[in-house]
A = this chain, B = another copy of it.
Amino acid sequence: MPEIATAGVETELQRYFAAARLRASDYGEHYVALWDCLEQASTGGKRVRPAMVLAAYAGFGGRDLSLVTPVAVSFELLHTAFLIHDDVIDRDLARRGIANIAGQFSDRALAHGAASGQASAWAVTAAILAGDLALSEAHRILARLPVDTGRRIRLLDLLDRAVFVSAAGELADVTNAARPHPLGVTEVIATLEQKTAIYSFEAPLQAGAVLSGATDTAIDVLGRYGRLVGVAFQITDDILGVFGDPARTGKSALADLREGKQTALIAHAGSTIHWPAIAPFIGKTDLTEPEAELARGLLRDCGAPQAADELARDHAAKAVEALDTPLIPAELRSTLTALADSAVNRFR
């Protein structure tokens, strides 16, 4: 990813959590611990969404960091909320090998003498509440932003669309898993776009541009770019989720296969005569590493990683093409072109 300074976002998040922790201390140690967990959950990410807000804002000439930083923080907290609630849905107790909020509150319950049934209630409660708190703050930040009404309403509409469409995508992700045959590639892409591309790329880029006073047409262009580049990122993530080196990606190379995740890889494989041989491995919850290696071989044989990679590159190229208009200032175009390139050239 091109370097976009997000240090102001870190400072602002630290300030916010310090204040929340102080306020929580009136309500007992568990609530303070919940805020500690929430801060941890929001820490250590790549700050992709703040970077999008900041890049678009600066790209259209915006210079007021006191205005753009809260907007960047808002989208980061939205992301945190989604990750936390996603973990509840997936019943995960860890993220990237570290105990998540549910995991930490489950341990906390046991340390406080709770029975194991109670420990899972602590875990779910803490995670649902933490997500609600982060989501609430994402809204609150935009609602309080000292800008004119027209601009505030447009920012609120972007956030609203991000929440509305992400929920549709998250639901589709779960309901798709029940379908007996693999999805087609069009459906896979629609779900990626809904679940991730809109809230992670389209909306933050457009929010930065709105705040900077960009024209409606330029904002539309950024939206199109964001959807395409978001899909390119996600397809590449899904390839790395099966073929990547866990030490470099930080992701298990078994999880997606075990879960039967409906990716572009699987969509391609499902359209080939190789599918009956591959199908038994996909969604096998106790898949071993040797079995996974067999599955990877079969996926390679049917051309799945190449096909998915081409699809990602095609999306990245179309994203860059969308920027080819004088409406997008040269420096912003160059940053976003580098971003699109990095979407499909990672860990190689």
Contacts and interface: CB of A to CB of B under 8 A. Distances in A.
Interface of A: 20, 23-24, 27-28, 30-31, 34, 81, 85, 88-89, 109, 112-115, 118, 121-122, 124-126, 128-129, 131-133, 135-136, 139-140, 142-144, 146, 149, 152-153, 156, 159-160, 163-165, 167-168, 170-172, 174-175, 177-178, 180, 194
6 contacts: A27-B194, A31-B171, A88-B124, A118-B178, A121-B177, A139-B140
Contacts of A153: 144
A10 to B, nearest CB: 23
A144 B144 CA distance: 11
Q: How many copies does the complex hold?
A: 2
A164 B126 CA distance: 13
B30 A170 contact: no
B85 A168 contact: no
Contact of A172 (B31, B131, B149, B159): B31
A237 to B, nearest CB: 21
B85 A121 contact: no
Max chain B Cβ within 10 angstroms of own Cβ: one of A85, A131, A146: A85
A183 to B, nearest CB: 12
A336 B158 CA distance: 40
Contact of A171 (B81, B85, B112, B125): B125
